[in-house]
Amino acid sequence: MKGCYALSPEQITAWIGGFHGCFAARNRAMVLLGLTTGARISELLALNVYDVLDDAGEFRADIVFRKRHRKRKQESRRQPLYAVAREALEPWLSELRHRGGVWRWTPLFATRSLKRMSRGEAYKALRAGMERAGLALACMGTHTMRKTFARAALNDLIQRRANGEAVEPLLELQRLLGHRDISSTISYTETLGAGRETMDRWACTVGKLVQNYNTGNSGV
C-alpha cells in the first residue's frame, strides 16, 4: 500500500486507454472493477466467473468478496456490481468463452492458460498500462485502485456533511473498505468518508470517464 497514491480523473482516463494487446479487456475490467468496489487486489484475483454471472449467465446485481479470500479472514463483503464494471467485463468474458474458459470455477482474471493470475502478474499488467499511458510509475501499486476509491468516497462525504446530512462517516468508510480495525481506515486518510450513495455517484463518475475515453477513440 505504501508508495502508491490515488489517481485523478484525468489519470484514470489515461490509464484506461493504456492497455493494449490480447489481455487489454481483462486488465481494463480489473481496473474498473477495482475502482468501483474498492476491493483489494487479493479479493479481485480470488474471484471466479460465477461471482459475477448467475446460473443463467446473467450479471449479478452484487458481487460478494468471500470471507476465505479476505485479509485475516474477515466477514464476507457485498458490493454493487455497477454497469460500468459489467460493460468492461463483457468483452473479457467473451474472450474467455472464445478460449473455452467460461465455467463457474474459472478464475475471472485468468492467464493465457486459464490459471488464476498471481499478484505479481497483476502488478506487471497494471503497471504496463500505466507506463503506456505516460503516467508516473511512482503512483502505481496494487492498492492504487483501492486508494482512488477511498479518496473519492472521502471527498463525496465531506461535501455531503457540509450540506448538512447526518452521517457517521468514519464508520461508513470502515465498512465500505472492509477494515476490521478502525486504525486501518484512519491510515488511509485523517479525514472522514463514505456510504452507498457515495459509491453510486463514484461509479457514475467512472462511467463518464470511460464514455469520454470511448468517444475520443471512436474514430481510431
3-state secondary structure 77-122: EEEECCHHHHHHHHHHHHHHHHCCCCCCCCECCECCCCCECCHHHH
220 domain-assigned: no
135 domain-assigned: yes
What mean pLDDT do residues 31-55 have?
A: 94
Residue with the three cell numbers 454493487 = 80
What pLDDT does 7 receive?
A: 87
State how far the Cα of 157 lies from the Cα of 159, in Å rounded to an integer.
Answer: 5
CB atoms inside a 10 Å sphere around CB 91: 14
H or E segment and range at residue 53: none
Taking a C-beta distance cutoff of 8 angstroms, is the pair 49, 104 a contact? yes
89 domain-assigned: yes
Q: Give the range of the structural domain holding residue 20, as residue numbers without chain letter.
A: 9-215
18 domain-assigned: yes
2 domain-assigned: no
CATH code where residue 28 lies = 1.10.443.10
4 domain-assigned: no
State how far the Cα of 207 lies from the Cα of 36, in Å rounded to an integer.
Answer: 10
202 domain-assigned: yes
What mean pLDDT do residues 149-171 have?
A: 73
State how far the Cα of 156 lies from the Cα of 167, in Å rounded to an integer.
Answer: 12
27 domain-assigned: yes
pLDDT confidence of 68, banded at 50, 70, 90?
Answer: low
17-21, 64-68, 91-95, 202-206 — which is least confidently predicted?
202-206
Split into its structural domains, the chain has a count of 1
CA 137 to chain centre: 19
Residue 69, pLDDT > 60, answer no
